[in-house]
Chains A and B, each alone.
Chain A
Amino acid sequence: MNANARAALSRRTLLAALGLTGAAAMSGCAGDFRQTAGSVPGKYAKRQHVVFWHSFGGTPLAVLTELVAKFNDSQSDIYVEAQFQGSYEMTMQKLATAIVAKQVPDICVLSEITWRKIHLADALEPYDDFFDGDVRPDQFIDQFIQEGTVQGKLWWLPFARSTPLFYYNKTLFEKAGLSPDGPESWEQLQQWAPAIMRQKTAAGHPKVLALGSTYSSWYFQSNIWTWGGHYSQGLDVTFDTRPVIAAGQWMVDFIRKHRAAYLSQKPDQDMGSGITACYLSSTGGLKQASLNAEGGKYQVGTAFLPQHDGNFGCPTGGSGIGILKYAAKSRKEAAWQFLKFLAQPVNSAHWTVGTGYLPVVKAARQQQELVKATKDKNYLTALNQLPKTQPQDLIRLIVSSAGDTMDEQLTKLYSSGASVPDVFGRLDKKLSSLADLIRETYDSHYH
């Protein structure tokens, strides 16, 4: 079997992993592909039509709609149509299906997990040739560019990036005689636990920390790093190593021995009703946290993620935008004009202030709108933590359903009497066998 045939076969494997069983290898030139269905209002009929798939609902949807309208009215050649496609996962599924059906959008929002799968399927266009005098990679936050770069090419432009943040009930901390700035380390939080649990709230005595099941492996990545471990090195899973087990054991003891932490359906809600004093959530969760605090009549505080032995670790998350390789050249170039527009500091700042996502362009920090927003100290925490963040270990990002599998097992640890070495040992085996499925494709794309 020659290398081309092998690559085609592994692409097929990957497509199968994406849920595209029996899909033909994705060969063919852009000429075979059409733009997906859309609608253009009459007054824009003569323009180059760009279809932009995204996954934003709620407030981000409103801000995005505003930005797209602003772009469409700022020039007379291009009409960008933003089409909502459901969650990140649904968007990826639909994109994969659209590629097989050969009716594709031109640009698509992809999460930190989904872009790697589309990249492995060879469906993304690298950005390097698009950059020009106006917009260059060094204008974006370095970590984000680094994360979207594979083999020296940039495949994924940062857009709606976030990190985890430590949220706590400031009023309760002050009442307990603890620092209003939150804990510096996990050990300190453990020392403070009895004082916190002695306090009275509407729900009785609060617990210290509510652990959510959604994306728990994203939050736990921080614990793993601060304990000196990794989920994986490249594609080699290291769940079964001592620092990873130690990090897991600490959290399990915090739950079972100290009875200070617990698994929660809705951590943010629990703080609002006084069931917990702290929880971890995304930077985008600040608005909800502030509203809950208003309802529960307390002050909410945000802090860096806790350290361990002087080590700090915080992963990045959220989404960016990929350009589809199969889109016609004229549409790709038109799409790039829109992406340049989004990268203007004033627009980046507006998106950030409106949604709670981090500013992905360095110069956005100096924008009036963002400067005003950072008067809220809680808002500043995420921005100050940003330079200290790093991309997650690869296994969670690249292996099909790895994140879900890890979340499931962590949830099991948080809510049962299962032993850490057992659970992590089994997880290690399972992830390793999943990793083997894509090893060949990975090697051909990453080395």
Chain B
Amino acid sequence: MKTLGAGLKYLGLIVVLVLAAVPIYWLLSTSVTSPEKIFQFQWFPDGLNWQNYVDGWKSAPFGAMYKNSIIVTLAGALIQICVAILSAYAFAFLDFPGKRIVFLVFLGAMMVPGTVVLMPNFLTIAALGWVNSYAGIVIPGVGSVFAMFLLRQHMLTLSSEVTDAAKVDGANHLRILWHVVLPMSRPMVVTVIVVALVEKWNDFVWPLVSTSTDSMRTLPVGLLMIKDAQGFTNWGAVMASSVFIVVPVLIVFFIAQRQIIAGLTAGATKG
């Protein structure tokens, strides 16, 4: 009976694994398929057509785009996490007038779709002279209510005895944050960082709108430049480019995997 249960559990896991892995396998296999075979159904590519990778790389200035993507992703995620940690700490441990109202307004901001603020944001960076610059791509996206909210919820679960003890020892807020709260929030901070990294890496509409020249564009925009809306799209090249865009994200995920799982399941089990 026990083995049957275990068997079913493994069967379930295998089904989920297949569901998750097949699209990635499909991406890899299509990326080495020759153009005329792209739409023929086949489990295995009938040859390794590396030309797709060459065509993909040549379809857009991917070298510059890689550099831009790395810069705006790291800068964007780093500033976002700093802002989120500081504001989460304030909402969790400080008492200030109107705290609840401010918090509700923040939560309300989460409900506003990104497309609504596209235009005001563009007008703002245009007025600041930031169109087609790194600042223009990064700054409007550094305030993430979601990241702040996740961290605040986590900080509220920390026992106040620890922070009170630090206060008694004469530590100011920044010290408490740095030496007490952050070490206890590590899994959650890593989770938020990874979410931010992936979000910035994949962001498409804002980097497209806030820049004009190819030299300032990021990778997802490059992917669009391979497609021909009305005629022939070299899907092999699109898939190949998708592969070299996805790989860095996968690497980051595997490195941080343990922390992420710890962060997302924190509080789910009795410790």
Contact = CB atoms under 8 A, between A and B. Distances in A.
Interface of A: 19-21, 36-39, 51, 55-62, 81, 83-88, 90, 93-94, 97, 100-103, 160, 162, 266, 268-269, 272-273, 282, 284-288, 291-292, 294-296, 318, 355-357
| Smallest CB-CB A-B distances: 4 pairs | A58-B228, A284-B231, A37-B132, A101-B126
Contacts of B211: 37
Contacts of B231: 58-60, 282, 284-288, 355-356
Interface of B: 35-41, 59, 118-119, 122-123, 126-127, 131-132, 205, 208-209, 211-215, 221, 224-234
Given A86-B208, A292-B36, A59 B214 contact: no
A101 B229 contact: no
Given A61-B225, A84-B225, A272-B39, A162 B208 contact: no
Given A81-B213, A83-B212, A295 B36 contact: yes
14 contacts: A39-B213, A51-B212, A57-B227, A61-B228, A85-B212, A94-B209, A266-B39, A284-B231, A291-B36, A291-B38, A292-B39, A295-B38, A295-B40, A356-B231
B59 A58 contact: yes
Contacts of B234: 58
Given A81-B213, A83-B213, A269-B39, A291 B232 contact: yes
A56 B60 CA distance: 12
Most chain A CB within a 10 A radius of its CB, from B36, B205, B214, B227 = B36
Nearest to A282: B230
B214 A84 contact: yes
Given A103-B131, A272-B39, A97 B233 contact: no
A85 B232 CA distance: 19
Contacts of A62: 59
Given A37-B132, A57-B225, 10 more contacts: A51-B212, A57-B226, A83-B212, A85-B208, A87-B229, A88-B229, A100-B119, A101-B126, A288-B232, A295-B38
Contacts of B225: 57-58, 61, 84
Given A58-B232, A103-B131, A295 B37 contact: yes
A37 B212 contact: yes
Nearest to B217: A84
Nearest to B215: A39
A418 B205 CA distance: 36
A62 B226 CA distance: 10
A62 B205 CA distance: 23
A283 to B, nearest CB: 8
B227 A97 contact: no
Nearest to B123: A101
B119 A318 contact: no
A38 B228 contact: no
A36 B133 CA distance: 13
A19 B209 CA distance: 14
A36 B37 contact: no
Contacts of A87: 224, 229
B141 to A, nearest CB: 17
Given A38-B212, A84-B214, A288-B231, A58 B226 contact: yes
Most chain A CB within a 10 A radius of its CB, from B118, B127, B230 = B230
Contact of B39 (A19, A51, A55, A273): A273
A21 B212 CA distance: 23
Contact of B119 (A59, A97, A285): A97
Nearest to B233: A58
A86 B118 CA distance: 15
Contact of B213 (A37, A103, A318): A37
A86 B59 CA distance: 15
Contact of A36 (B39, B123, B127, B212): B212
Contacts of B212: 36-38, 51, 83, 85
A100 B122 CA distance: 10
Contacts of A58: 59, 225-228, 231-234
Contacts of B233: 58, 288
A65 to B, nearest CB: 10
A193 B251 CA distance: 53
A368 B231 CA distance: 23
B23 to A, nearest CB: 16
A315 B66 CA distance: 42
Contacts of A60: 228, 231
B30 to A, nearest CB: 13
A102 B122 CA distance: 11
A318 B212 CA distance: 23
A218 to B, nearest CB: 11
